[in-house]
Amino acid sequence: MYSHSKVDSIKIVGLGKCLPKRILTNLDLEKMVDTSEDWITTRTGIKERRIVDKEYASILGSDASLKALKRASIKPKDVELIIVATITPDTQFPSTACYIQKDIGAKNAAVLDVSAACAGFVYALGLAWSLVGGGFYKNALVVGSEILSSITDWKDRSTCILFGDGAGACVVVPAKPSSGMLGMYLGGDGNFADLLILPAGGSRLPAANQTVKKRLHYIKMQGNELFKIAVRIMVECAQKVLKKCGLKNSDLDLLIPHQANLRIINAVAKRLNLTQEQVFVNIHKYGNMSSASTAVALCEAYEQGRIKKGDIVVLDAFGGGLVWGSCVIKWT
């Protein structure tokens, strides 16, 4: 670990993403389960999603990382910290960050994973802020990488329509006060843990014949209950972090919400009195990629020119745990 001077903030200097080439459309799903293209689109806003063939989380994460590092003009050997947000790691241990470190040649970096479901990328940014902003490291590579197809029950029509695979990454470095990361709000409530859960595979229910037969190694979700909580929490998250920074909803240039469901996104935007131009949406192309959703959306928003210097950008995420998090960024 390095010991540098403490700084007040961090800024993003490079972004990258990686999406598998294979596209699974709603019409494809019609042939797999009892559903329809129209029903999926109406209920979720999803048209298609990306699914890996043989790749795993570290492969997508490494590709996104190298793109982010190239844009940041930082060589892998100069990376000091790698934080990977994922709920679909290559292995329970070592961490997926270890594999990414090896794959990209970041031999001098400290490495760790963060498990915070769909809010994982925001949580990882918060950790990077504390460590880089605290003067322990000069830079950090923050990655959200998920292979949700590996834990999706393709016989469950209520969940298999929702999820996809992908990865996004960013490089952060120290920033001057009142620029870059302005504020962070994180929260959680374990009382709702069973609403979105992967029941088996951990120490509570280790892999066994019965857990496999009962299909407990796949995502289980209570969608209706989650929908109501998600809208309320995401609105509160955005409002609290803006207030923390002395800002109002009207000061927001772009909201980048977790891409879980278009109806959730629209409900959040309505309650925050935001126009369509103030909200970034790409769920129709990728579905829900958990921690990768916000990371990929941030990268695409920048690539599409939706984020400009001086803009106030809010990342707003909510996921299983339950966990949630928002951050305010003044783009530099």
Packing angle of the helix pair 57-72, 291-303 (nearest 10 deg) = 30
Cα separation, 134 vs 156, whole angstroms: 45
Neighbouring CB atoms inside 10 A of 250's CB total 10
- With b for 16 or more beta-carbon neighbours within 10 A and e for fewer, the 177-198 pattern comes to eebbbbbbbbbbeeebeebbbb
Token pair in block for residue 125:
């940014």
Which helix (H) or strand (E) segment holds residue 293: the answer is helix 291-303
Given the residues 118, 160, 170, 237, select the one marked as catalytic. Answer: 118
Residue of 258, 240, 259, 257 lying closest to 249 (CA atoms): 240
Q: Position of tokens 């990382």? A: 65
Phi and psi dihedrals of 325, rounded to 5?
-170, 145
- Does the active-site annotation cover 288? yes
Q: Which of 258, 261, 299, 327 is catalytic?
A: 258
As given in the structure block, the two tokens for residue 115 are: 């498990």
Catalytic residue chosen out of the listed positions 18, 160, 288, 327: 288
Active-site residue list: 118, 258, 288
